[in-house]
Amino acid sequence: MACDITVHGLSGDVRSARAAIDRALSVFSAVDATCTRFDPSSPLMQMNARPDRWHQVPPLLSLAVEEAYRAYEWSRGRFDPRVLRDLVELGYDRTLPFDTGGVVTTGRRRRRTAPGPWRPRFRGGVHPEVHLGGEPIDLGGIGKGLSVRWAAEALDRRLDAYLVDAGGDCACRGVGPEGDGWRIGVENPLAAAGPPLAVIEVRDRSVATSSTRLRRWRSGREAVHHLLDPSTGRPGGHGLVAVTVIDDDPARAEVASKSLFLVGSAGVADEARRRNLAAFWVDATGRAGETPRFTPSVIWRAT
């Protein structure tokens, strides 16, 4: 999943808490092994090899594709996992060493038309089957949020309170160490080594951020990033560098942050308010904005 995963738990039963945390961490390993696009032998990539036919898949993969389809419908197609070929053609066909900086790939672009409606099909049962509708998919845009959701479910009955943090995408339940909400910093994507732009306090909520701070590189002579507009197959979100969303569910927060990002700086405020989202964003000049639903969660902000 190419990110650090941290679980903080509060419980009176240390042994039970450790067992619950181990189960939660195992969720990330299971999702990664099943849904990764970087291993050609993974169940996802075996299905992607023939997206025009039915495949018997692990239940976890069937659930992930169903959730991706729900996200596609909720976002009216702004979230669309059928960008795998575009990512590959931009050179993101393997885990890239983003943390070293200066990543350069050789991009090869094909003739592309806008995709039609996505209509995957599902057959339930003990051995579920999935038909992708003819196009391979990338679950990276929702997989982390689903992992956080399912890890949180593994903790719900065992811990009095907890925080699951997967590279900045979080699920918070109960009170934090200080006896109030869990405090999360919203980093400055233009100066990540410095102080955050804001600190929020949340309780029984989830937080997700979509940002171009890390996953950006040069594809040939072009500067690109991983947040692609599915209508064009090109990096989207003109004028934005980060969007953070607070929601009840971590997967929905992840999808909402990506969908808002792709609107771009000119329309992000109107779209966030129209969707009634608790959202915070930063544009390429460093200017921040937020919706009225986000403001009550802020307990500190940079001046």
DSSP for 101-158, please give it. S--EE---PPP---------EEE-SSS-EEE--SS---GGGTHHHHHHHHHHHHHTTT
> How many other CB atoms are found less than 10 A from the CB of residue 256?
29
Confidence of residue 2 (pLDDT cuts 50, 70, 90): low
What was the pLDDT predicted at 6? 92
**Residues 217-221: what's their mean pLDDT?**
90
Q: Name the more confident of 248 and 1.
A: 248
pLDDT at 1: 62
- Nearest residue to 265 (alpha-carbon basis) of 301, 212, 303: 212
Q: What is the CATH number of the domain that holds 166?
A: 3.10.520.10
Q: Note the pLDDT of residue 221.
A: 86
Closest CA to 43 of 126, 118, 119, 129: 129
Distance CA 260, CA 19 (A): 37
Range of the domain at 133: 5-301
Q: Show Cβ contacts of residue 207 under 8 Å, excluding neighbours closer than 6 positions.
A: 168, 169, 170, 172, 184, 200, 244, 245, 246, 250, 253
State the virtual CA torsion across 289, 291, 293, 298 in degrees, nearest 10: 10
The pLDDT tens digits of the residues spanning 8-58 come to: 888 778 888 889 999 999 999 999 999 999 999 999 999 999 999 999 999
The total number of structural domains that make up the chain: 1
